[in-house]
Copies of this chain bind each other. A is one copy, B any other.
Amino acid sequence: MSVTDFLKRLLIGRKLASTQLGETLLPKRIALPVFASDALSSVAYAPDEILLTLSLAGMAGFAFSWQIAIVVAVVMLLVVMSYRQTVHAYPSGGGDYEVATVNLGANAGLVVASALLVDYVLTVAVSVSSGIQNAKAMLPFLAGNEGMWAGAVILLLMAMNLRGVKESGSFFAIPTYGFMIAVIGMVIWGFFRIFGLGEQLLAPTADLEVVGSPAYDPFVGMAMIALLARAFSSGSAALTGVEAISNGVPSFREPKSKNAATTLALLGLVAISMFGGIIALSHLTQLKLIDPDGQSHFTQNGVPIEVPHETVIGQMARMVFSDFPVGFYFVITATMVILFLAANTAFNGFPVLGSILARDGFLPRMLHTRGDRLAYSNGILVLALAALGLVLVFNANVTALIQLYVVGVFVSFTISQFGMTKHWTRHLKSEKDPKLRAHMIRSRVINTIGMTGTAVVLVIVLASKFIYGAYWAVLAMAVLFVLMRSIRRHYQKVSDEVAIGPSDARMLPSRVRAVVLVQEVNKPTVRAVNFARATRPSSLEAVTVAFDDAHTKEVVASWDEQGLELPLKVISSPYREITGPFLNYVRGIRSDNPRDVVCVYIPEFVVGHWWEQLLHNQTTLIVRTRLNFMQGVMVTSVPFQLASSKYAFDRAERNSAAAWRRPGSGQVRVGGYDEPRAKE
């Protein structure tokens, strides 16, 4: 423990109080940034992906960018409208996993959960990578080592989250509103320069031509459809994160559902405006991108030319604020920050989902509780390492990562909307009020349209991206699904095995036969004997195994010297073994007295350093493990705290969340759960 602990300390310093958003309810103006950073930040890469995919068809491709943008915006509208229904139906903040589980059963819920877990990892990888790619406009030294820099950012986010940052509303509000102001301000200023001042605003890449891939050369028929589908699929990354508000309904001020629905609508409006504005401005200024993997390339007057890759927002900020560098830096900084913030939200969401899955028995149960914050720390580590692996393997190439993304999002969108239609159908069966019925029918129509729309998008995404990398995401989801099902099945099996049946009589053992294992005669042993004696067992024996003659003589002599008023039994062991003869002895007691329970007392050293564990308690550990397999035997450790244990004790106290020292924790009630506390 202590080594990893040391490394953790080295990396993240001393621990702060545990993170809490506080119990205050959020007004809409704070709720929007808290839940929208993920959704809004995708505006920073979705337009890029549309343009660079279209570049495969050469100059002809770019003409389609605004049409694809419109389709994306329409799907965005559908999704927002659908989730407004969810928000009203699940004011408890169900989330897609709950909606799917409640309405469609555990397996559907598990599919959604697998999709969400994979997507959290990809959100971190894509957002951080895009943040680095955008930052290159401002910090050119990042170029060449994007993967490394993105990895460093992920480790930083991990450290922050392990440390437990105290996140206030303004932590989210400033970057999110900053980004909104930056992008919308840039777009408006751009339009103003074109239409108001009549300038001919041209992107840095306006005077370049793009040569596409021969595969899409005709750009008619199937080739055209395939490419447009791929461009749309990549662009629909703009929709990721929209569902976040539906998880957060309980955090809104009253009326919760209504406020959440309004915020959702607002989010949709802002996202579509930003997205549409960027696409429109890039169209007007002849902004061009090429595929970073080299499927398309720039030429100038017919001659191939090498231009450093710059994101849409980077080019646009450079162009619009060509005479106002402060604006340029502001846009780039705001973009980078919101992308990192979006990654940070995944660090909050991933362990929470893990905890819910653990509650339902799909993940190790201990992840459900926050004991020592271990659960959350583990979730944060898993997420960070998976995302780190991705950005290093893909060198923070957003386009490559986007191929894996979006699949999970649309899987959960579709299943969740399907769940919602079931929800309304079920409620319609019992609802009589015609006004409410009309509302429900309307909601069901919207969710059905939403489901159909997202299902179509899912099919398009799968078909157009599968061979480009989406199969990895599908595979990861399948593995998670199978794993979580197996864990649940195991828990179910064990639960059946340990369930108390009607025939399980109250078999109280008749006597307790205590055995103290003596290896040395010292304080821990004396304490064990005293403690064992204090329990007043039916019989008490002290037993030592004679694995070494000289040593056993010493033990027997100092035993007699102590006058413990208890004979020491010596078990012979000519083959210098402790475990076997001792176990056999205990087995003998058991078979002589089958109705009694044997309690073995083992003195145990409590040490402070991991290496001390190697020097102590090893025999004890083996003996205890083996005794555990014996029916009717309890094993009692009588700990003896060595001086060095103080170090480990202090560390453990420091590590444990101080939460239980807060008011409300540790109060004791007796009996029925709902009885008043006065009883104590």
Contact = CB atoms under 8 A, between A and B. Distances in A.
B512 A498 contact: no
B372 A562 contact: no
A469 interface: no
A580 B534 contact: no
- Considering residues A580, A604, A642, which has the most beta carbons from chain B within 10 angstroms of its beta carbon? A580
A568 B498 contact: no
B374 A622 contact: yes
A184 to B, nearest CB: 40
B487 A665 contact: no
Contacts of A506: 530
B641 A629 contact: yes
Contact of A553 (B553, B640, B671, B673): B673
Given A580-B665, A634-B636, A523 B494 contact: no
B531 A504 contact: no
Nearest to A663: B574
A270 interface: no
A671 B556 contact: yes
Interface string A519-546: 0111110100011011111000000001
How many copies of this kind of chain does the complex include? 2
Given A522-B500, A622-B371, A634-B637, A656 B579 contact: yes
B359 A548 contact: yes
A599 interface: yes
A560 B369 contact: no
A163 to B, nearest CB: 17
A526 to B, nearest CB: 6
A508 interface: yes
Contact of A652 (B368, B615, B629, B638): B629
A592 to B, nearest CB: 13
27 contacts: A364-B618, A369-B547, A369-B548, A369-B578, A370-B577, A497-B643, A500-B521, A500-B523, A500-B562, A509-B534, A531-B634, A556-B673, A567-B670, A572-B664, A572-B669, A573-B666, A581-B660, A581-B665, A601-B634, A604-B628, A628-B641, A629-B639, A629-B641, A630-B639, A633-B639, A634-B638, A635-B636
A372 B490 CA distance: 30
A326 interface: no
A346 B438 CA distance: 88
- Considering residues A364, A507, A630, A668, which has the most beta carbons from chain B within 10 angstroms of its beta carbon? A668
Contacts of A498: 520, 522-524, 640, 642
A572 B675 CA distance: 13
Interface string A605-629: 1100000101110110010111111
Nearest to A648: B629
A536 B506 CA distance: 16
B665 A572 contact: yes
Contacts of A660: 573, 575, 577, 580-581, 584
A557 B567 CA distance: 47
A21 to B, nearest CB: 14
A585 B668 contact: yes
Contacts of A467: none
A529 to B, nearest CB: 10
5 closest cross-chain pairs (CB), A and B: A580-B660, A575-B659, A366-B618, A498-B522, A628-B639
Contact of A534 (B576, B597, B604): B597
Contacts of A626: 652, 656
Interface of A: 18, 359, 364-366, 368-372, 374, 487, 490-491, 494-495, 497-500, 504, 506-512, 520-524, 526, 530-531, 533-537, 546-548, 551-553, 556-557, 560, 562, 567-581, 584-585, 597, 599, 601, 604-606, 612, 614-616, 618-619, 622, 624-631, 633-643, 645, 648-649, 652, 656-662, 664-674
A470 to B, nearest CB: 30
Contact of A668 (B509, B569, B649, B652): B569
Contact of A568 (B642, B671, B674): B671
Given A500-B562, A570-B670, A666-B584, A531 B553 contact: no
Given A511-B534, A531-B634, A585-B668, 9 more contacts: A494-B605, A494-B616, A569-B668, A570-B673, A572-B669, A574-B665, A577-B665, A584-B666, A629-B641
Contact of A615 (B490, B585, B618, B649): B490
Contacts of A369: 547-548, 576-578, 619
